[in-house]
Chains A and B, each alone.
Chain A
C-alpha cells in the first residue's frame, strides 16, 4: 500500500518527460535481466555524460571523475538483476554514482587538487554567458575565464559534500527537489535547507564576481 502511494506520488510530481524516460529505461533493464547484455550499452550511452558531469562537479578532478563513472556503471551492471523498478533507472544510477563519489571523497579528504575541464566556448549559450562574466577583450578573456573557473571550483570545494551534491544536482544538472530527495534518500525539506545554506556560502565566496 505504501509503495503504491509512493509510485502514485512520484507520478504526480514527475514530469511526463521523466515518466516516458523511465518507461524506456525499464524496458531496457528487462532486456538486460533477460540475458541481452548488450542492451546495457544503451543505458551507458544515454547516461554517461550526465553521470560524469555530476561526479566531476563534485570532485573537480577529471581523472577521478572518469574512474568513478566507470565504477558506477560496473556496479550497476553487477546489480542489475536486483533492480525491481521501484524507482527509475536514472535515480538508481545517480544514487550509485553519488554514493561512490562520497565514499571516494571521504577516503581522499586530504588529497584534493583540481584537474579542470575546458569550458566549451563554442556553444551559443556559453558565448553570452562568458561575455557577461568576463572582459570583452579577447586577449584577457581566456585568462579571465580560467581564473573564474578556478574561483568557482574553489568555492564549491569549500562546501561540505552534502551541500555540494545538492548544488550540483539542482543548479548544474537541473533536477527537481523531489528527484534530489530520491537520489540522496532524504526529505524535500532537507534538500531545500541544504540548498539555501549552500547558496549563502557561495554568495559570500563569489561576491567579487557578482553584481547587484
Chain B
C-alpha cells in the first residue's frame, strides 16, 4: 500500500522533521471539510434572501380553487332567486312541451267524436284501408264491433253514446292518399317527412304510371307504409255479459239435439229466445237428462 502513495505525500513525509511528520488519517481528511467555509460576504446575501422568504411565507397562499370559490360566492347571495327562476323556467319548458304535444297547429284543442259516427270528410276513421269509401269504412267499423258481441248478433247502435272505449280523437285521421298530411295532424312534420312527401308528389306528378307501378296504388301507399292500427276499444266492451254466456251455453246444448230430434222440435228462433229472460230460462230448468243421444230438459 505504501508504494501506492502519491509522490507529493511521500516527498513531504521524507523531508519532514519528526515534529512536522503527521500521519494522515481519515479523521484528518474529514477535518479538512471543516475548513470549507463561506466568505463573510456570503452571509449578507443570506440574510437578505432569508428576509424575503420570511415575508413570502407570511403571505398565505391561495389554493387554486379559491378564485372559483370567490367568484361563486358572489352568486351565493342570489341563490334563492336564481334557483326560483331556474325552477320556473324548467316548469314552463315542460308545460310548453306538453302543450305542444296535445294541441294542434293552430293551438286549438283536440275534439273527440264517436268512432261510429257517420263518416265525414276528415272525420274519425281507423287507420286501415284509407283508400276505401266512406260507406265501406263505416261497414268495417260495424262489422268490427259486431264480431265482438256473441250470442246472436246484437249490434251496436249507430247512435251509441261515445265512451272512452270506442272513440278516437278527431285528429286521428287517415287522409286518403294524402301522405303529406301525415297520420296525426296534431304534430308538425319533420323536415325529412316534408322532403319525402314533396319528392313523392313530384314523382307522382311527373310519372304517374311509373309511380303507380312502383309504389302501388297511391291511395294505399299509406296503408302499406303504415301498418293498420286496430280501433281502440275498452277491454270491458269486448267481454260478453255473463247472461249472454249462460244463454249461449244453454242454447248450444239444446240446439244440436233439436236439430236431430224432429218429433219434439224445440223452438230455437231468435224471437222466442229473445222473449225469454235469462233468469226465467235458467230458473225454469229443473232437470237435465241425456240418454241415447237425446237431451231432455224439464222445465
Contact = CB atoms under 8 A, between A and B. Distances in A.
A74 B57 contact: yes
Contacts of A171: 27, 30-31
Interface in B1-36: 1-2, 4-6, 8-9, 11-13, 15, 20, 22-36
A62 B37 CA distance: 10
Contact of A69 (B4, B6, B46, B57): B46
A116 B29 CA distance: 16
A70 B37 contact: no
Interface in A191-211: 199, 202-203, 206-211
Given A128-B22, A133-B28, A52 B53 contact: no
Given A117-B36, A128-B22, A210 B4 contact: no
Given A62-B38, A140-B8, A48 B43 contact: yes
Contacts of B43: 48
Contact of A148 (B13, B32, B38): B32
A123 to B, nearest CB: 7
Contact of B49 (A70, A144, A202, A209): A70
Interface string B35-63: 11111001100100110011001000000
Contact of A210 (B12, B29, B32): B29
Interface residues of B, number: 38
A2 interface: no
B23 A149 contact: no
A47 to B, nearest CB: 13
A211 B33 contact: no
Nearest to A123: B35
Given A119-B36, A135-B8, A77 B49 contact: no
Contacts of B49: 66, 70
B14 to A, nearest CB: 11
B28 to A, nearest CB: 6
Q: Is the interface of A mostly helix, strand, loop or mixed?
A: helix
B275 to A, nearest CB: 110
Contacts of A186: none
A129 B31 contact: yes
In this complex, the interface size class of chain A, counting residues with CB under 8 Å from chain B, is 35 or more
A152 interface: yes
Nearest to A73: B50
B28 A120 contact: no
B50 A70 contact: yes
Q: For the complex, would chain B's binding face be called helix, strand, loop or mixed by DSSP majority?
A: helix
A129 B29 CA distance: 9
Contacts of A149: 32, 36
Interface in A171-191: 171-172
Contact of A211 (B13, B15, B54): B13
B2 A117 contact: no
A22 to B, nearest CB: 23
A132 B24 CA distance: 7
Nearest to A136: B12
Given A74-B50, A77-B54, A120-B35, A209 B29 contact: yes
B28 A132 contact: yes
A52 B25 contact: no
A210 B8 contact: no
Given A74-B57, A129-B31, A210 B37 contact: no
Contacts of A135: 8-9, 11-12
Given A208-B4, A209-B24, A56 B46 contact: no
B24 A210 contact: yes
Contacts of A77: 54, 57
A57 interface: yes
Contacts of A132: 12, 20, 22, 24, 28
30 contacts: A49-B37, A52-B46, A53-B37, A56-B36, A66-B42, A70-B49, A74-B54, A77-B57, A119-B32, A119-B35, A121-B35, A126-B35, A129-B28, A129-B31, A129-B35, A130-B32, A131-B20, A132-B12, A134-B9, A149-B36, A156-B33, A171-B31, A172-B33, A202-B26, A202-B30, A207-B4, A209-B6, A210-B26, A210-B29, A212-B2
Interface of A: 44, 48-49, 52-53, 56-57, 62, 66, 69-71, 73-74, 77-78, 116-121, 123, 125-126, 128-136, 140, 144, 148-149, 152-153, 156, 167, 171-172, 199, 202-203, 206-212
Ranked nearest first, the 4 interchain pairs of A and B with the lowest CB-CB distance are A132-B22, A135-B8, A117-B36, A171-B30
Given A57-B36, A131-B12, 11 more contacts: A120-B37, A126-B35, A130-B32, A135-B9, A148-B29, A172-B33, A199-B26, A203-B26, A208-B4, A209-B6, A210-B29
